[in-house]
Structure 1
Amino acid sequence: MTETLDKDVRKSAAARALPMVDLTNLNADCSHADIDVLCERAHTPHGRVGAICIWPRFVAHAHKVLTARARGKVIPIATVVNFPGGTDLQEMTVLETATCIRDGADEIDLVIPYGAFKAGDEEAASKLVRAIAQQCAGKALLKVIIETGELGSDELIRKASHMAIEAGANFIKTSTGKVPINATPHAAEIMIQAIADSGKPVGFKPAGGVKTVEDTATYLAIADRIMGPDWAAPKTFRFGASGVLDDLLAALDGDEAATSGGY
């Protein structure tokens, strides 16, 4: 996205971004052993990530592992519902959400029915977000994925952002990471501006394709410009990523860039 930053700037940018990472494993072949590794990686020599983000079937296991591993505050567990296609029945998504919260999820990343939304059925998306917001109220943070790459147009991204905010989202999130076009700075600009226009305490999460310190710095610069330099923090800003952690840690160690593949 941007030119490589010099070593000192990379280190500073990485220190800022690390506690905002939702360290993710949403691979189809994810196993309990992979979750054990993820939970361990979430506790880095430079501090903890913002959350882990995993499939619903692993929430109870991760909760047990993280609780046993915790020294003080347990790292939050985020999980995904109506994921990735946004096509599950509302009743199924409500039940899945309730089950995830019961199993120990602290954050719910909900995919809207973006295909229906794009076709003009905004009410279906709004009803779903409201229903899940009701399930989450007082129990879990709700992050609403609008799938910007599939919506396509600036107007639809703007509309979906405002819809999610009005329906009760605590965060709005760009993408599932499972489509050809995921997070982009352009989509981030539209979504963060929607948050600013709403005047509500809603956070933002770019997800998919965030792989380097420079990527994180690009998104945080957009947030700083629109919302002010003190706005972006773990309670208002997260990165959905599996591949960025290695580069953040390399920068904090003063090493050369060390990127890996992934979400």
Structure 2
Amino acid sequence: MQTAARALALLDLTSLNDGDDAAAIDALCARALTPHGPVAAVCVWPRFVARAVAALKETGIRVAAVANFPDGGADIEAAVADTAAILEAGGDEVDVVFPYRSLMAGDEAIGAELVEGCKLVCGEKARLKVIIESGVLKAPELIRQASEIALNAGADFIKTSTGKVPVNATPEAAEIMLTVLKEHGQGGFKAAGGIRDTAAAGAYLAIADRIMGPGWAGPETFRFGASGVMNDLLAVLDGTGNAGGAVASGGY
């Protein structure tokens, strides 16, 4: 139950479906205020930011939206424009996709430029979370490299995945990314996609506790982008669920 309560407070409750509409966003925001306390944030498409901000006013729940998503293209101007639109609509956080295919092709510079451009727009007004798409990068050295580039370019968080590819968050990627964070000395981590139950969430928290220290993982430093886990967390907290389970690698 302690793990479920801890994970719930770190959850970015997410809806990034093609068919999302105003009613879906209203339902998402209502769901974010649970009987066991609020989640950390909701994450939506940029066009729904203003609606989510209005719905969650004075709740303390942050509003995040995605940029350069989900493809992670190399168009810096478009990624920066997405970021600016999110902030103009009142967003608190931007989850931008790193141009991971460019890195895989040997271009290290474009990722740094894109993150720097988005961070310049965010400044101190908004948190920038950079999605490296670890399940596509696959190779430990590329996961490490993307994490280092993002953090050195100003990322506030590094995030595993979009939740839109076959392999998303994995404990192996978390281990690498949290190790880079420890070496960097600052920044946060977000495990996203395929985390389906309380036991899986607990496994990621255990990795963070081991690498970063038991007091490190809080809403300012650690998030789950895994809306599929919420029902299980609430069931455990209600006393009707089972804390057992396994880590999956699917989408949100």
- TM-score computed with the length of structure 2 as normaliser: 0.95
The alignment partner of 1:243 has SS state of helix
In structure 2, runs of 5+ residues without a counterpart are none
Query: Is 1:193–2:161 an aligned residue pair?
Result: no
The alignment partner of 1:232 has SS state of coil
Give the structure 2 partner of residue 217 of structure 1: 202
> Do 1:130 and 1:167's aligned partners in 2 also have CA atoms closer than 8 Å?
yes
Query: Is 1:247–2:232 an aligned residue pair?
Result: yes
Structure 1 segment 6-25 matched on structure 2, within 5 A: 11-25=1-15
Structure 1 segment 46-61 matched on structure 2, within 5 A: 46-61=36-51
Q: CA deviation at 1:65?
A: 1.5
Query: Is 1:114–2:100 an aligned residue pair?
Result: yes
Write the distance in 2 (CA, Å) between the matches of 1:54 and 1:207. 14
Query: Is 1:104–2:90 an aligned residue pair?
Result: yes
Match of 2:123 among 137, 141, 146: 137
Write the distance in 1 (CA, Å) between the matches of 2:175 and 2:74. 29
Percent of residue pairs bearing the same amino acid type = 55
The alignment partner of 2:129 has SS state of strand
Give the structure 1 partner of residue 112 of structure 2: 126
Write the distance in 2 (CA, Å) between the matches of 1:257 and 1:33. 31
The alignment partner of 2:194 has SS state of coil
One-letter amino acid of the structure 2 residue matched with residue 206 of structure 1: A
C-alpha distance after superposition, 1:65-123 (max 9, x if no partner): 112xx4xx431001000000011621121112111101011000010111111111010
> Do 2:163 and 2:251's aligned partners in 1 also have CA atoms closer than 8 Å?
no
One-letter amino acid of the structure 2 residue matched with residue 141 of structure 1: R
Give the structure 2 partner of residue 63 of structure 1: 53
C-alpha distance after superposition, 1:35-56 (max 9, x if no partner): 0000000000000000000001
**Would you identify which runs of 4 or more consecutive aligned residues in structure 1 move more than 4 Å?**
none
Q: CA deviation at 1:247?
A: 0.6
Give the structure 2 partner of residue 34 of structure 1: 24
Write the distance in 1 (CA, Å) between the matches of 2:168 and 2:251. 12
> Do 2:83 and 2:121's aligned partners in 1 also have CA atoms closer than 8 Å?
yes
Write the distance in 1 (CA, Å) between the matches of 2:230 and 2:104. 33
CA RMSD of aligned residues (A): 1.4
> Do 2:165 and 2:251's aligned partners in 1 also have CA atoms closer than 8 Å?
no
Write the distance in 2 (CA, Å) between the matches of 1:256 and 1:233. 24
One-letter amino acid of the structure 2 residue matched with residue 249 of structure 1: L
- TM-score computed with the length of structure 1 as normaliser: 0.91
Query: Is 1:83–2:73 an aligned residue pair?
Result: no
The alignment partner of 1:110 has SS state of strand
Write the distance in 2 (CA, Å) between the matches of 1:219 and 1:64. 32
